[in-house]
Each structure stands twice: as C-alpha cells, then as structure tokens.
C-alpha cells in the first residue's frame, strides 16, 4: 500500500485523540479496557479503535505528561500474540513466476505466485503493493507500529513458491529492497529486467546489510521457501550471501508412492538429503507436511508423520497443511472422477490431535492450516480455526502438546533463579543435536539454543568458516518483543539467558573435541555475537574455543 494512502487510512481526529486520552486515564486508575471503551463510545456509537489508543498513549509519553510504561502499552496493543515469540514477523511475497513443480494440489491463480490466492491475508497485502518488496515491508512495519508493536527486531519471511527458481539478480534486488525498507532508505531502484544479462554484483547488498546492523529496524531472521530438490552446496552459499538464516521446504509426504501420485517431482530421499545439507550449513529447517494427499489414508498419514522424527529429518519447525480441495487445482478433477475424498473436519481434528502429542520438544508447530478463505474450498474442512479445535480436543482427552509453541513463556514473568537448564540430545542424519533450553518450574520455555555437532559423515560444503566447527544454528529468547536496550522486570529477553546458553554450548562443543564455533548470524544480530567474542568470517560469525 502506498505510504500516503496508509497515513490517510490511519488519520486520527483531535476529537478521537481527546476521547482516547479519557479512556487511557480511566485505565491508568484501574478500570478494565473493555469497560472503559464501552463507557466512552465515539459519537457514531462505535468503540474507540486500538490504533487510536496507541497514538494517544505515545503523544502523552512524548509530551512528558506520562512516563513510559511498557506494561500499560502491552494492555492496549492489538494482537499481542504476533510478537510474543520475541520478534516481529514481516511477511512478503515475490512476484508471479514459473514454478518448476507440477503438484496437483496447488491452486493456480492469475497474477499470483504459484500456490497462493490473492485473498489470503499476506498475499492480499502483496497484491495491493504490486509485489514491491520495499512497499510491502515498509507498510507492514508502519501497521505494526501504529497498533503498538515494537519493530526493532524484524524476521523477514519471503514467500511465493520456489525461491530458488527465480533469477539471482531478482533475488538480490528483492532482498536488498527489503533491507532498504528496514533501513528507511528508499533508493527507488527498479526491478531488474528479466531479459537483461548484466553480471550479478552484490556489493550494494553488502552495503545495505552493513547499514542494517545498527539501524532502527534490524533483521534478526531472513526466511525463504523452496523445494528439497533445489538445495545444493552452491545454493546454500548463495543464501548466506543474501543473509538467509532459515529455509522452509515442502516435504509434503515422506512416501514416494504418494509423492509420485501427486506429481511432486522429488523423492523422500531428496528431502532427507536437503535437510542434511541445511543442517550442515547451520540453517534452521522448516518442513511443510500435508495430510490427506491423493493416495494417502488416515492410517498412512499417521505412519508418515512418524518418519519425520525417526528417519533423520528432525525439522526444527513444522507447518501442518491439510490438503484443501480447490477448484483451480488439478486435484479437483480427480475428486470429480471419484478418485479422491477429502477428510472431514472431525477426522482432521482427531488425526492432528493424535499426532501432536508425539511431536518432540525441540520442534515448533508454526501452523496447522493455511489461511485460505473457505469460499475457495469445494469439499472437506473449511474451518481456519483448526489449531484451536485440536487444542480443545487435546484438553478434552486430558493430553497436551509439548512442542515449543505450546510451551513458550509468552507474557509470563520469569524468575531467573527458578529456571533449569535442559539439554535434549537427538541424532538426525549426520549430526548430534543439542537442544539447550531454560525452562520454568511449570515447564515453560524462556529461551533456547540449537547446537549442531557435525559427524564424520556430514557433507562437505566447501565453506571455510565451517571447517572443523560446531554450529550454533539458533539462539532464541522468548517473551514479548521489546525495543533494543529496554528493560522490563522479569522479561525473559533481557536477563542474559542468551549469553548463558552460548557459554553452555561452547562447553559442550569443547568437550566433544571441537576447537572452533560458528554461528549463522542474521545481519541485525552480528554485533550481538561480536560482543560475545565472535569474529566476522566470510559467511558466518566464528571464534576459537
């Protein structure tokens, strides 16, 4: 969205600001937000919106009438769950582009990247901004700020099908324009011409990254999505030059028969090879898994899911995307011929509830369903609240999920002295993994670190930074994302847990015979690691131990 249009949309009148300050004052003396809002409706009868309350709060603080109070701001923030994981996620989509896949379950819509529909929330914002990366990032940051969210720690999530299929000059331009938006520097550089053959140079990228190390909106994670058969050592080296730290891949199934029926175009062995390469290069690994594909059954899906944890894949995060029957996908014609039957909503709830209790404690379940509007779904489940339905079913059974998302501390205050340090060891393909976590007495995660110790069989990637090194693949401290440098009593992000986790990882690596440590640092976290003794290598932060 054009910044001027965004400002017009968010225009606040003096009368609204005055009323908002009355509401805030009542809250300050102890009245609940909902009661204060109902007691002071606007002249047209509508309740005051939260973005106006946030604007009024900021004006009171900037004028000196009020002292800054992060807890008070949190009480009026819109959708605080969006930043409870410790970072603020900004999702952007690449332009429509040919995809190497021919999957029968993917929707195909004009003017959209493969597998996306223009009325999905993130896709709709991209479509409105004509897929311009600068406009997508800058407008989303403005939206977050106007509803009270901190925006100094940004995870940039790039979606749009198979990232690796795009021309590298477009990839470099797209990522650099995302950095420009975070840096607040609009160079107005146009998208590269698909017909041009100019030599690729990433010097401008290096400059944008350097600026981002100390800018107001720092990048603490850069995520792309691609296919398992696109992962090679050369591709991983290129992703690091762009600043990528996390890779999403569509595994979809680990059954080669099902993959072939759905014309996925790769095998389960390709997925295992890709996860092994990604782990050896220190990337965080997110797999997409799809129950109810053509040829699958409830029983085969249960067995397939188990392979994720038993056969060496061991993703750090997972998105469970039940197959949705859409008219624009080839699967629709299989259904019309009676060759495919979607699971019912209850069958999906029961299936995912069964699976969720077996997810290891080192994995985070990011999503349980795509945000595809129900009007597009021909038959089968149309509920987008499937995660809540599954959690309700688990509660009814007296069971619980132990994935990371279900155990985050969120807004819970943390007493440092009561935390215990857990070391969960598991062995995926070609590595020994240590999931180090600080846990509260009620088993909530306050922070964690992923340490990977490559085995002798680990693939050789030709990256000097990684020679003979143990790898820190992720350091994450939970709790409401706070501005850099701020303090909040009991907030997990600001009590030194990250430093303690790094020290423990170093001790474990040294005990296993490693003399060097490498960390896959996001651009905006380089200074953090430098202050903790790491030096800048070619593609990673490194230090001797």
Q: Specify whether 133 is located in the same domain as 215.
A: yes
Q: Taking CA 492 as the corner, what is the angle to CA 70 and CA 149, rounded to the nearest 5 degrees?
A: 40
Instruction: Based on the fold, state whether residues 147 and 209 are members of the same structural domain.
Output: yes
Q: Which residue, among 188, 82, 87, has the nearest Cα to 133 in the 3D structure?
A: 188
Domain boundary among 32, 56, 76: 76
Pairing assessment for the beta strands 218-226 and 516-519 based on DSSP bridges: unpaired
Largest CA distance in the chain: 71
Read off the DSSP letter of residue 495.
Answer: T
507 in a structural domain:
yes
Residue keyed to tokens 């759905």: 262
> How confident is the model at residue 489, as a pLDDT?
42
Tell me the C-alpha to C-alpha distance, in Å, between residue 179 and each of 64, 364, 483. 33, 27, 19
Q: For residues 402 and 422, state if they share a domain.
A: no
Torsion of CA 525, 526, 532, 537, to 10 degrees: 150
280 and 351 share a domain?
yes
Q: Is 243 inside a domain boundary?
A: no
How far is C-alpha 513 from the chain's CA centre?
Answer: 33
Separation between Cα atoms, residue 49 and residue 435, nearest integer Å: 42
Residue that is last in its domain, among 354, 379, 407: 407
In a domain, 526, yes or no: yes
DSSP for residue 478? -
- Regarding pTM above 0.75, the answer is yes
Alpha helix (H) residue ranges in 77-167: 121-128, 133-146
144: tokens are 């977050």
User: Apex CA 326: angle with CA 323 and CA 327, to 5°?
Assistant: 150
CATH of the domain at 533: 3.40.630.30
Give burial (CB, 10 Å; 0-12/13-18/19+) of 378. middle
Q: Are residues 113 and 67 in the same domain?
A: no
In a domain, residue 233? The reply is no
- Asked if 288 and 319 count as a contact pair (C-beta separation under 8 A), the reply is yes
Q: What is the pLDDT tens value at each position of the chain, 545 positions in all?
A: 333 333 334 457 888 889 988 988 888 888 888 888 888 888 888 888 887 888 888 889 888 889 888 778 878 865 555 445 568 999 999 999 989 999 999 998 888 998 899 888 889 899 999 999 999 999 999 988 877 788 999 999 999 989 999 999 999 999 999 999 999 999 888 999 877 766 777 899 999 999 999 999 999 999 999 999 999 999 999 999 999 999 999 999 999 999 999 999 999 999 999 999 999 999 999 999 999 999 999 999 999 999 999 999 999 999 999 999 999 999 999 999 999 999 999 999 999 999 999 999 999 999 999 989 899 999 999 998 999 999 999 999 999 999 999 999 987 888 889 999 999 999 999 999 999 999 999 999 999 999 999 999 999 999 999 999 999 999 999 864 334 333 344 444 456 899 999 999 999 999 999 999 999 999 999 999 999 999 999 999 999 99
Residue 9 is assigned to a structural domain of this protein: yes
Contact yes or no for 545/509 (Cβ under 8 A):
yes
Let me know whether 373 and 266 are in one domain. Answer: yes
Check whether residue 282 and residue 396 sit in a common domain: yes
In terms of Cβ atoms closer than 10 Å to its own Cβ (0-12, 13-18, 19+), residue 109 is middle
The reply to whether 302 and 323 lie within a common domain is: yes
Tokens representing residue 327 in the block: 């008219």
Beta strand segments in 172-243, E: 218-226
| Domain identity same for 216 and 291 | no
Q: What is the DSSP letter of 460?
A: P
**Residue 412 contacts residue 300 (beta carbons within 8 Å):** no
Whether residue 231 is contained in a domain is answered as no
Is there a single domain that holds both residue 288 and residue 387?
yes
89 and 172 in a single domain? The answer is: yes
Query: The dihedral of CA 115, 117, 122, 124: what is its sign?
Result: positive
Whether 252 maps to a domain, the answer reads: no
- Residues 466, 49: Cα–Cα separation, whole Å: 51
Count up the domains in the chain and report the number: 4
Residues spanned by the domain of 402? 260-407
Instruction: Indicate whether 97 belongs to any domain.
Output: yes
Q: End of a domain among 207, 226, 245?
A: 226
In angstroms, rounded to a whole number, what is the distance separating the alpha carbons of residues 158 and 89? 10
Q: Are residues 205 and 165 in the same domain?
A: yes
């Amino acid at each position: 969205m054009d910044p001027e249009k965004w400002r017009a949309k968010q225009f606040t009148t003096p009368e609204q600001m005055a009323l908002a300050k009355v509401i805030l004052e009542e809250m300050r003396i102890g009245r609940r937000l909902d009661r204060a809002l109902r007691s002071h409706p606007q002249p047209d009868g509508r309740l005051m919106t939260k973005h106006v309350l946030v604007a009024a709060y900021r004006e009171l603080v900037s004028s000196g009438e009020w002292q800054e109070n992060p807890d008070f701001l949190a009480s009026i923030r819109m959708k605080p769950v969006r930043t409870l994981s410790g970072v603020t996620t900004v999702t952007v989509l690449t332009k429509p582009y040919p995809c190497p896949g021919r999957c029968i379950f993917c929707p195909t819509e004009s003017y959209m990247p493969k597998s996306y529909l223009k009325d999905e929330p993130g896709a709709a914002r991209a479509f409105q901004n004509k897929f311009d990366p600068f406009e997508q990032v800058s407008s989303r940051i403005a939206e977050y700020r106007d509803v009270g969210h901190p925006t100094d720690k940004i995870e940039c999530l790039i979606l749009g099908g198979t990232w690796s299929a795009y021309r590298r000059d477009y990839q470099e331009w797209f990522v650099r324009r995302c950095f420009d938006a975070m840096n607040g520097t609009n160079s107005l550089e146009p998208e590269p011409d698909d017909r041009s053959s100019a030599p690729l140079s990433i010097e401008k990228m290096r400059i944008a990254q350097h600026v981002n190390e100390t800018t107001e909106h720092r990048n603490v994670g850069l995520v792309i999505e691609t296919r398992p058969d696109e992962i090679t050592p050369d591709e991983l080296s290129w992703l690091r030059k762009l600043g990528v730290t996390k890779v999403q891949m569509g595994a979809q199934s680990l059954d080669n028969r099902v993959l072939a029926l759905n014309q996925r175009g790769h095998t389960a062995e390709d997925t295992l090879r890709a996860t092994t390469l990604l782990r050896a290069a220190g990337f965080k690994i997110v797999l997409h898994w799809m129950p109810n594909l053509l040829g699958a059954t409830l029983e085969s899906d249960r067995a397939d899911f188990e392979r994720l944890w038993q056969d060496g894949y061991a993703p750090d995060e997972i998105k469970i995307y039940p197959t949705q029957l859409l008219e624009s996908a080839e699967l629709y014609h299989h259904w019309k011929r009676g060759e495919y039957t979607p699971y019912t909503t209850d069958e999906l709830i029961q299936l995912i509830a069964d699976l969720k209790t077996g997810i290891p404690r080192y994995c985070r379940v990011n999503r349980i369903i795509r945000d595809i509007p129900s009007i597009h779904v021909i038959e089968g489940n149309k509920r987008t609240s499937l995660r809540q339905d599954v959690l309700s079913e688990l509660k009814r059974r007296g069971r619980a999920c132990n994935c990371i998302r279900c155990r985050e501390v969120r807004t819970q205050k943390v007493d440092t002295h009561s935390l215990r340090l857990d070391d969960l060891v598991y062995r995926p393909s070609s590595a020994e993994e240590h999931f180090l976590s600080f846990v509260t007495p009620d088993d909530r995660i306050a922070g964690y670190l992923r340490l990977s110790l490559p085995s002798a069989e680990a693939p050789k990637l030709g990256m000097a930074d990684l020679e003979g090194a143990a790898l820190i693949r992720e350091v994450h401290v939970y709790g409401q994302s706070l501005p850099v440098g701020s303090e909040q009593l009991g907030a997990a992000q600001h009590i030194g847990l990250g430093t303690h986790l790094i020290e423990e990882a170093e001790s474990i690596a040294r005990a296993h015979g490693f003399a060097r440590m490498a960390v896959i640092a996001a651009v905006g976290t380089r200074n953090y690691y430098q202050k903790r003794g790491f030096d800048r290598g070619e593609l990673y932060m490194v230090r001797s131990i």
